[in-house]
Structure 1
């Protein structure tokens, strides 16, 4: 009976030792990698002209606390999920001489642990969002048209297959793709009605002209790792243990924010 009371006291000590740690945001690096592909001249940044202001595509980053950093460094499986890091940042275990010899295992749940990018390719004509048209068949000279967005458009991306914790997966994929292409990426972006661009296109007489505007996006593909995460407390030591690790191929379409690709053609 005495041994039973000692064990209960030690477990209670662990529980009472849990306390909050304030998470701090990591600064965005000043230098970013250049795009790994050439951007066509038909692709234009319309961020200043867009009549709707899109929220920043920069994802907040959390710097691991000292406690979290020690756990991540000792984990046999790489952990990059920002939400899991946030939870670890908000917890701490205080070392106590009374905890000697005590053990506890805390199940933190199944998590998407990390994402490894394997292929990142742009599609400059991901979605057609506007058509400007003029009939100059009765004209005697060139008619000039330019891009004017006729109605508000919402461009959405998404994962190509169903996964658990899709929001966590999207954050990791968006960040990895952004590092490779050096372009503002977001799974949802808006082009406002009345948005214009000053570049002029000429429609000859006896012809009709079509100016198409497309929202570009990036096709991101790679490998996703899942696992069951446990916090193991053994005496005065703590470590992360990941069990039942699985991997799967995953893809996503991620729109390029505030960019348009133009295509112009005339017909008889």
Structure 2
């Protein structure tokens, strides 16, 4: 992405100061919550997981006073945490000789915001394990439990190519996490030897199969792009967005530390 600053008039006083990383919600990122009912067959395995996952939670950046002032002047809502971070790092020194001063600084083309249109959960997104017990020669009922036989890495991603994919994924992750109240990540790992105590019974003359799946959120919406300019006229400072475009996009985002279990018993091996 182009980050070169183009100064239209004459030099202005710009400096970079400390990053404000207080976790808070930009007023432009308000997202309605969705109540997600977790099925009884879907189990939380954070404590049992032999390969602990690192949370991919992205903090909501609290805009600095100057950033908030600039965001309120923008003609297009801005959610992109990285753009807000850059604005947080910027300070503009006011001067008594600002009368008649005019300057425009090009900050580059950015994905500005993501608008969610649909959020749903596929509780059987990807199969990660199969346990089975052959009780065809048995004369009594036998029991089996979920036991992860090998490490499984489940990855999500965008459903199509798009410019500045990392920025878009970050905004979609923030939106989906807020709507579902689930711990999401574009990669999750289930370690070998992860177990749960739930009992599944296999009758005599039957073969029992216990399938484990990783759930994932399907997030769908549109992302808005635009060329961002920082404009100053006298003592007034504002953000102007030009050449605005929108593009539809979808993503699969795995749910961390959950498995959905499906049990069945059959007359013959499968």
Same fold? TM cut 0.5:
yes
Rg (Cα) greater in structure: 1
Residue 186 of structure 2 is matched in structure 1 by 187
Q: Quote the offset at 1:35 in angstroms.
A: 4.8
State yes or no: 1:25 paired with 2:18: no
**Residue number in structure 1 paired with 2:99:** 100
SS at match of 1:98: coil
| Residue pairs, 1:1-268, within 5 angstroms | 11-12=10-11, 14=12, 17-27=13-23, 35-268=34-267
User: Which whole-Å CA distance do the structure 2 matches of 1:28 and 1:193 have between them?
Assistant: 37
Residues of 2 paired with 1:149 and 1:34: CA distance? 33
**Take 1:90 and 1:181, find their aligned partners in 2: how far apart are those partners?**
31
Matched residue, 1:4: none
Task: Give me the whole-angstrom Cα distance separating, in 2, the residues matched to 1:213 and 1:33.
Answer: 31
Give ranges in structure 1 of 5+ residues lacking alignment.
1-7
Segments of 4+ moved more than 4 angstroms: 32-35
Deviation at 1:98, TM superposition (A): 2.6
1:249 to partner: Cα distance: 1.2
* Cα deviation, residue 11, structure 1: 2.3
**Counterpart contact for 1:25–1:63, Cα < 8 Å:** yes
CA-based RMSD of the aligned residues comes to 1.8
TM-score (norm 1): 0.91
Structure richer in helix, relative to its length: 1
Query: How far apart are 1:85 and its partner, in Å?
Result: 0.3
Q: CA deviation at 1:161?
A: 1.0
Any idea what SS the aligned residue of 1:247 has?
Answer: strand
Partner Cα distance (2:35, 2:151) in 1: 31
Q: Partner of 2:97: helix, strand, or coil?
A: helix
Structure 1 residue 211: Cα displacement: 0.3
SS at match of 1:228: strand
| CA gap 1:198/1:28 in 2 versus in 1, 3 angstroms | farther
* Alpha carbons of structure 1 residues 243 and 35: separation in structure 2 relative to 1, 3 Å: closer
Question: SS of 2:172's equivalent?
Answer: helix
User: Distance between the aligned counterparts of 1:57 and 1:264, measured in 2?
Assistant: 31
- 2: CA distance between counterparts of 1:140 and 1:103? 90
Work out whether residues 35 and 183 of structure 1, in 8 Å CA contact, stay in contact via their aligned partners in 2.
Answer: no
| Structure 2 portions without partners, runs of 5+ | 1-6, 26-30
When the two structures are aligned, how many residues end up with a matched partner? 255
Q: Does the Cα contact within 8 Å between 1:33 and 1:181 map onto a contact in 2?
A: no
Change (3 A) 1:28 1:96: closer
TM-score, scaled to structure 2: 0.90
After superposition, give the CA deviation of every residue in 1:90-117 in whole Å (9 maximum; x if it has no partner): 1111111233212221111110000111
Report if the CA contact (8 A) 1:23-1:64 is conserved: no
